[in-house]
Chains A and B, each alone.
Chain A
């Protein structure tokens, strides 16, 4: 019996990174902007997508991939807005992985402009998985508290855009949007911050305009 030690140096997320790179290349070649939405459960990801679907109607073609542990509910809500939606049920897994998106991508019509991916509600695990998106949103709702960025730094560090949601509840809560934004910006300088109420429509135009600018950058080759 002999023993030997071998050097491996294998990145455990390498498979995901490769699958994500293939998706990013595919989306860019099709001129589609991919957006990955991260947040804890109940922060308003689906409601935000419903509000964006109304803003983009008749102007941009949008599609949505929904990730949840169980049920088709979110995909049904999006379809009710006239937007094609695919539901991935992970059956317990706490995040979406790039190869799950890759399997659905073949069904997504080529003639779309925006592909939103709503991740499983979880502010921890989805942060580690690149899905091949060009923009990552992290949502933080006012009832969750303005102290969350420092508690869940990876999610904020990995994002391009911070969307502070449920602004309609601000008069009733001790949530300070400036504090939340400052804490997030201390982790990720350059993070774009939007304050919205998807129910009332506040801030949705500005966020929609930002998404359109990102789409135009992608299509002009300056993503």
Chain B
């Protein structure tokens, strides 16, 4: 439930980029949200809609791209996408897998009106 503080960080980025590019408005924001990031996309959308009033992104559309958990196995070199909580390697069963994708929260692209 820390979506509002994360959205505050999104708006810091939006305001910085709008200023940098001399943009009047932000039209669209694409966020990549990892399934292992601990963030709920629906709550992020609600927080975004609450926060955007009277900002440069007042009419902006938020698009969330959910990034699945990608595991890499150092024992067999295999890579697999997992959405449940079994973190063992699908190929060789090793438990030493590393999570290489799916933990991040990233502002990917922004569409601006200049």
Binding site for B on A (CB under 8 A): 1-13, 15, 93-95, 97, 124-125, 127-128, 150, 153-154, 157, 185-189
Contact = CB atoms under 8 A, between A and B. Distances in A.
A188 B88 CA distance: 10
Given A93-B2, A150-B85, A153-B85, A12 B111 contact: no
B38 interface: yes
Contacts of B99: 157
Contacts of B114: 1-4
A15 B5 CA distance: 12
Contact of A189 (B37, B85, B96, B109): B96
Contacts of A154: 36, 38
B42 interface: no
B107 A125 contact: no
B38 A8 contact: no
A125 B38 contact: yes
B105 A4 contact: no
Contact of B109 (A3, A5, A12, A15): A5
A128 B38 contact: yes
A171 B99 CA distance: 38
Given A4-B21, A8-B109, A154-B36, A124 B87 contact: no
Interface in B5-49: 5-6, 9-10, 13, 17, 21, 27-28, 36-39
B1 A124 contact: yes
A12 B1 contact: no
Contact of B9 (A15, A185, A186, A189): A15
Given A10-B107, A12-B10, A128-B38, A186 B88 contact: yes
Nearest to B6: A12
A4 B27 CA distance: 9
A10 B13 contact: yes
Nearest to B5: A93
